Amino acid sequence: MTTEKKYIRSRNLFNPNSDKPYKLSRSKIELYLDCRLCFYLDRRLGVNRPPSLPFTINSAIDSLLKREFDIYRNAKLQHPIMKDFGIDAIPVIHEELDKWRNNFSGIGYIHPKTNLHIHGAIDDLWENKNGYIIVDYKSTATKDEITDLNKPWHIIYKRQMEIYQWLFIMNNYDVNDTGYFLYYNGDVHKPEFKNILEFKCTAIPYQGNVNWIDETITAISKCLNSPTTPEPSKYCDFCKYRGASVEVLTRQAKLI
């Protein structure tokens, strides 16, 4: 496969002349917030960022947790984690749940002002007397105890939760302002591995704020419809790399 075929695509591009709703995932909204130029290259011009390595261990943990919570869901019982952290909720039973948890479908909403079809896939859904509770699984392995979401990259997790909350609100579901991150931290202090990695779970509540989403989607639409490329983010390592490469190659060409 040539470089051109691998990194330049013609499918799933935004067409400003089309009347069809354009699908935009939660992760692409995050890409826009990270760097508008990278977003424009991806969604409008068909040039992807280089792919990251797959988080296969994290995906395996997600699958195991979903099956585990389904046991309690089908029994209409609280999961022990809920009891341990005093969470008044039970897992939701809903005919659309498998769709909402599937990365290729998720839950979606067509934003009427922009005709952008926003969608995202949740990890789990609980409920109490006030409505649905969005739940997101996270897993890592660090020597530090996880008690909060105050690291710089945690803003991505928070926005992720808020978009899920917004999607359910837009689909006319009652949603709790507070969702939960189930953060599973692998114990790296054991003297031996023995093919077993034990995890400690922390249920971290987070009160979401969805007020930023509507104006962000409107700004994304303006970006997509623009005939000119936006400026890169000054913090974007991908853009810095592209710029440095062009500079060095241009300099080298002048020497030949």
Instruction: Express the helix, strand and coil content of the chain in percent, nearest 5 each.
Output: 40, 20, 40
User: Which of the two residues, 2 and 102, has the higher pLDDT score?
Assistant: 102
Contacts of 96 (CB under 8 A, 6+ apart): 107
* Domain residue extents for the chain: 19-255
User: 169 or 55: which carries more pLDDT confidence?
Assistant: 169
pLDDT for residue 1 is more than 50 = no
| Long-range contacts of 150-158, Cβ-Cβ distance < 8 Å, separation of 24 or more | 156/30, 157/181, 158/206, 158/208
Tens of pLDDT, residue by residue over 125-152, are 999 999 999 999 999 988 888 888 998 9
State the Cα–Cα distance between residues 38 and 62, nearest whole angstrom: 29
Residue predicted with more confidence, 4 or 47: 47
Q: Which residues, 6+ apart, have CB-to-CB distance to 65 below 8 Å? A: 123, 124, 137, 182, 184
Top CATH class, 19-255: alpha beta
214-255 per-position pLDDT tens digit: 999 999 999 999 999 999 999 999 999 999 998 898 888 877
- DSSP-based three-state secondary structure for 185: strand
pLDDT at site 202 = 95
Which tens digits make up the pLDDT trace of 56-100?
A: 888 999 999 999 999 999 999 999 999 999 999 999 999 999 999
Determine the angle formed by the axes of helices 26-34 and 36-43, rounding to 10 degrees.
130
pLDDT at 5: 52
> Hunting for tokens 């899920």 — which residue is that?
164
**Chain Cα centroid distance, residue 6:** 24
